Amino acid sequence: MKPKISIIGAGMTGSTTAHWLAEREIADIVLVDIVEGMPQGKALDMQESMPVIGKDVSITGSNSYEATAGSDIIVITAGIPRKPGMSRDDLLSTNAKIVGTATEETIKLSPNAIYIILTNPLDVMCLVAMEKGNLPKERVIGQAGILDSARMSAFIAMETGVSVENINCYVLGGHGDTMVPLTRHSNVAGVPLDKFIETEKLEAIVNRTRKGGGEIVALLKTGSAFYAPSAAVAQMCEAILKNKHLVVPCSVLLEGEYDQNGIFFGVPVQLGRKGFERVIEYELNDSEKEALKGSAEHVDANVKNLRDLGF
């Protein structure tokens, strides 16, 4: 029997995650959404494309959590984007309820599942999932760092003309404008970035990386990025199911690492069949430490907002 991955929220990121996963042929896939017929329709359409690409996976859609029973991985993308007239608190409260309920309902049916969270504000939603599902920290992993690092790598590849396969970028911290692209640890074929690219150009790339999500939102006008975020989730799923011990930046609960305690925060982690296996700690200089501290303060403030809302 193939492993099973259930995706809660079959919108843009959810359905595109299913697409990338089906191409990798690593698991049967279930899409769940509250919109009647939509997950069923997308799943059937995708299932009908499997003969064309020659992949034997089952893709089903449902409006009920029952369909997720026995999942190895639960991916949560369900949520609402901010609409005109809505405060950030409204978004936080609404998405925290959605993520909390999705976790409570799915953990009953898949007690051993590993949770990958995409819903924003990401770092706080991970905390909600862990608490509502009463999950050990190893089994709650937020997707953000792979996406932010991939954006930076894409910009470096565009600038240098070097293959993306030779570029290793590491973006840490909270998922937002305060994220911390580590230029000193990032490299092109082993050469540190700050030795490979002129300072001004590198600064522009760092700035573009920080605002990468907003750049896509401005272009799309409705909705936010979905190809790169979902590709990142597919990579995480594969690393977990194949027990690859792959090191990638993800948001996990820190308990002392990087001088942080009790918040979900983007750091390099090793992913395997048990979830995240360990945090990899870089030696940081003072300015890098300061930048990470600022980013952590931002996540802390969001957690406080969550508590003020009664979560």
Residues near ligand APR, by CB under 6 A: 8-14, 32-35, 77-79, 81, 98, 102, 118-120, 223-224, 226, 229
Task: Give ∠ CA 107-110-115 in degrees, rounded to 5.
Answer: 65
Min dist CB 192 to ligand APR, Å, is 31
User: CB-based contacts of 310: which residues, under 8 Å, 6+ apart?
Assistant: none
- Structure-block tokens of residue 39: 């997950």
Catalytic residue (choose from 175, 185, 245, 298): 175
Pairwise CA distance, residues 94 & 83, whole Å = 12
Closer of 119 and 183 to ligand APR (Cβ): 119
Closer of 79 and 275 to ligand APR (Cβ): 79
Pairwise CA distance, residues 288 & 274, whole Å = 30
Q: How far, CA to CA in Å, does 83 sit from each of 38, 87, 90, 222?
A: 22, 9, 10, 10
Min dist CB 94 to ligand APR, Å, is 9
Q: Which residue is nearest to ligand APR (CB)?
A: 11
- Structure-block tokens of residue 223: 């909705």
Closer of 212 and 272 to ligand APR (Cβ): 212
**Is the distance from CB of 119 to CB of 255 less than 8 angstroms?**
no
Min dist CB 255 to ligand APR, Å, is 26
Min dist CB 238 to ligand APR, Å, is 19
Residue 298 appears among annotated catalytic residues: no
Pairwise CA distance, residues 282 & 31, whole Å = 37
Min dist CB 284 to ligand APR, Å, is 28
Closer of 232 and 253 to ligand APR (Cβ): 232
Is the link from the previous residue into 3 a cis peptide, with omega within 30 of 0? Answer: no
**Is the distance from CB of 248 to CB of 271 less than 8 angstroms?**
yes
Closer of 102 and 202 to ligand APR (Cβ): 102
Q: Give me Rg for the CA atoms of the chain.
A: 19
- Structure-block tokens of residue 52: 């064309």
- Structure-block tokens of residue 80: 């609402």
Catalytic residues: 175
